[in-house]
Chains A and B, each alone.
Chain A
Amino acid sequence: MAVSRNISVSEASRPKLPRHAKLKFDETRQVWVILAPERVLAPDEIAVEVLQLCDGVRSVSDMIDQLTAKYAAPREAIATDVVAMLQDLADKGFLTEAREKTS
């Protein structure tokens, strides 16, 4: 029911895109897009990078470690930004929690 869709993102979460949200590179316009019902959204570079890590297997904690290593920035700062961004995407319905039984 509706409750399951409003996930709360923590470092332990393993988010992924729900089936109705598709991340894709639009060759014609040369931009990344998220396709959703009745909408096409253009995520920025950072959002694209984070969304590509959301495979339902990787935990948010792993993602933060990966980004911390890549950008040689303080883990705490990256963690705050990543969790906030993911929570925002989740609130808008573009992220869901991986289920035990993955489809």
Chain B
Amino acid sequence: MSDILTDGKAATAPHDGLSVLEQRRSTAETFGIPLAVLAELTHRCPLQCPYCSNPLELDRGGTELTTEEWKKVLTELAEIGVLQIHFSGGEPTARKDLVELVQHASDVGLYSNLITSAVLLTREKLSALADAGLCHVQISFQGNEPMVADRVAGLKKSHEKKLEVAKWTRELDLPLTVNAVMHRQNLHQLSDIIQMAVDLDADRLEVANVQYYGWALKNRAALMPTVAQIEETSRIVEEAEVRLKGILAIDYVVPDYYALRPKKCMGGWGRQFFNISPAGKILPCHAAESITGLEFLSVRSNHSIAWIWQNSEAFNRYRGTGWMPEPCKSCEFREVDFGGCRCQAFALTGDAGNTDPACTLSPMHEQIFKQAEQEAASDNNRFLYRNFAGGTLEAEDKHGA
């Protein structure tokens, strides 16, 4: 997922009277409460995408916060100054109480966004969500046609259903973001996906290259794009951004294995974002539980959410720049990217306190770049599908179709 807040590229023209709030009130010094929070209501999902951003160890249904617990959380978030809530998962519509939770978010004054695979929605359900005050819908797409899309999702008829729900979304006058997660096996469809977003009357398109931790790391060999694909992707996105100005806004997340600088992950650890896991843990990012040795506190603990954000050991461990080793410590970009992604550093080096190997200054960069190139050139196209059973390898005859 891209940063929740814009980095100020848009809406900063001098005469429009607007400025981007995050820029004016930087949380870097104060660790002010984030403007937006991601609520992962459940890890249950009918899709089995091999790059799922949920952790390998999924929270079981029985451990999920109850309706009353989520409502209490929403009230508390609004009270401490959170303005937007993103209902995500897993598949948030798998929760039977979603309408009730959206209504509660509206009642306490939160701006609500639904991040969904759409396959469980009916028109009645979507209409009820709109009536409950839902402000925005984001639907994930795995391709631009069923052959690729249904295979990646690991669910038949899913693409067809998504198209239908996207139409309902616009008929109900809800703004629509199309989220397209891109990798070696669907990047050839990018131009068509952009056109699909225009045809669906979407306001925004997120072209998000897979980020490789958790499930995606397990599937890296089947997903890693080639350098040539990435160059073509950047060209297509740049051309579309110009051509579709005022029609479709495009957010582009580059694959950082091929970048020179690492991404400013989550805007910096514990700086402007947290999410809440299905079981109620407050996390600096949705993959943070992959880092072992950090204790994440829950809303079920006897601490307030604000206390956990400001004082817990897990949030303070990698905040700011004080924790940094070289080459980050003396790097002129240390407050630009905050050393990159802690989860990626942990996954690839075994220590979350190391420089993210996506950075060319990391001693491991060359190695992971070469590995990415090799994997991209391989013909290992078989997916390990995400599920509660630790993953299921795609049938031998289905892949690489």
Whether both chains belong to one complex is answered with: yes
B-binding residues in A (CB < 8 A): 1-2, 5-6, 18-20, 22, 24, 26-29, 31, 33-35, 37-44, 46-47, 50, 84-85, 88-89, 91-93, 103
- A31 engages B21 (CB within 8 Å): yes
- B25 engages A92 (CB within 8 Å): no
B22 within 8 A of A: yes
Cβ of A1 to closest chain B Cβ, rounded Å: 6
Contacts of B246 in A (CB 8 A): 6, 91
Q: Bound state CA distance, A29 and B6, in angstroms?
A: 18
* Contacts A/B (CB < 8 Å), 25 sampled: A1-B201, A2-B247, A5-B203, A19-B174, A22-B111, A29-B21, A29-B25, A35-B84, A35-B111, A38-B2, A39-B6, A39-B10, A40-B5, A41-B19, A41-B21, A42-B20, A42-B24, A43-B17, A44-B17, A47-B17, A47-B18, A85-B17, A89-B18, A91-B246, A93-B203
- B17 engages A19 (CB within 8 Å): no
B81 within 8 A of A: yes
- B6 engages A20 (CB within 8 Å): no
Contacts of A20 in B (CB 8 A): 135-136, 174-175, 203
Known: A1-B201, A47-B17. A40 touches B175 (CB 8 A): no
Q: How many A-B residue pairs have CB under 8 A?
A: 106
Cβ of A36 to closest chain B Cβ, rounded Å: 8
- A42 engages B21 (CB within 8 Å): yes
Cβ-defined partner of A19 (8 Å) among B6, B10, B135: B135
Closest 5 CB pairs of A and B: A47-B17, A28-B81, A88-B16, A35-B111, A20-B175
Known: A19-B173, A38-B177, A43-B18; 17 extra A-B contacts, CB below 8 A, are A22-B135, A26-B83, A29-B25, A31-B25, A33-B83, A38-B5, A38-B6, A39-B6, A40-B20, A42-B20, A42-B24, A44-B17, A89-B16, A91-B246, A92-B10, A92-B18, A103-B173
Which secondary structure dominates where chain A touches chain B? Answer: mixed
Q: Bound state CA distance, A31 and B32, in angstroms?
A: 14
A-binding residues in B (CB < 8 A): 2, 4-6, 10-11, 13, 15-22, 24-25, 32-33, 35-36, 80-81, 83-84, 109, 111, 113, 135-136, 138, 173-175, 177, 198, 201, 203-204, 246-248, 251
- A40 engages B135 (CB within 8 Å): no
Cβ-defined partner of A85 (8 Å) among B6, B16, B19: B16
- A35 engages B135 (CB within 8 Å): yes
Q: Bound state CA distance, A40 and B2, in angstroms?
A: 15
Contacts of B2 in A (CB 8 A): 38
Q: Bound state CA distance, A37 and B85, in angstroms?
A: 10
Q: Bound state CA distance, A85 and B24, in angstroms?
A: 21
Q: Bound state CA distance, A85 and B203, in angstroms?
A: 21
Contacts of A39 in B (CB 8 A): 5-6, 10-11, 20
Q: Bound state CA distance, A1 and B32, in angstroms?
A: 39
Name B25's closest neighbour in chain A (CB-CB).
A29
Name A92's closest neighbour in chain B (CB-CB).
B11
- B20 engages A41 (CB within 8 Å): yes
- A35 engages B201 (CB within 8 Å): no
- A42 engages B19 (CB within 8 Å): yes
Cβ of B169 to closest chain A Cβ, rounded Å: 11
Q: Bound state CA distance, A5 and B81, in angstroms?
A: 31
- B109 engages A24 (CB within 8 Å): yes
- B17 engages A46 (CB within 8 Å): yes
Q: Bound state CA distance, A1 and B248, in angstroms?
A: 11
Cβ of A93 to closest chain B Cβ, rounded Å: 7
- A38 engages B204 (CB within 8 Å): yes
Q: Bound state CA distance, A2 and B18, in angstroms?
A: 23
Among A2, A6, A37, A43, the one with the most B-chain Cβ atoms within 10 Å of its Cβ is: A37
Known: A38-B6, A41-B20. A88 touches B15 (CB 8 A): yes
Contacts of A27 in B (CB 8 A): 81
- A38 engages B16 (CB within 8 Å): no
- B18 engages A34 (CB within 8 Å): yes
Cβ of A23 to closest chain B Cβ, rounded Å: 11
Q: Bound state CA distance, A6 and B175, in angstroms?
A: 14
- B80 engages A28 (CB within 8 Å): yes
Q: Bound state CA distance, A40 and B136, in angstroms?
A: 14
- B19 engages A84 (CB within 8 Å): no
Q: Bound state CA distance, A84 and B13, in angstroms?
A: 12
Q: Bound state CA distance, A50 and B17, in angstroms?
A: 10
Known: A20-B174, A103-B173. A38 touches B4 (CB 8 A): yes
Contacts of A33 in B (CB 8 A): 21, 83
Q: Bound state CA distance, A46 and B159, in angstroms?
A: 46
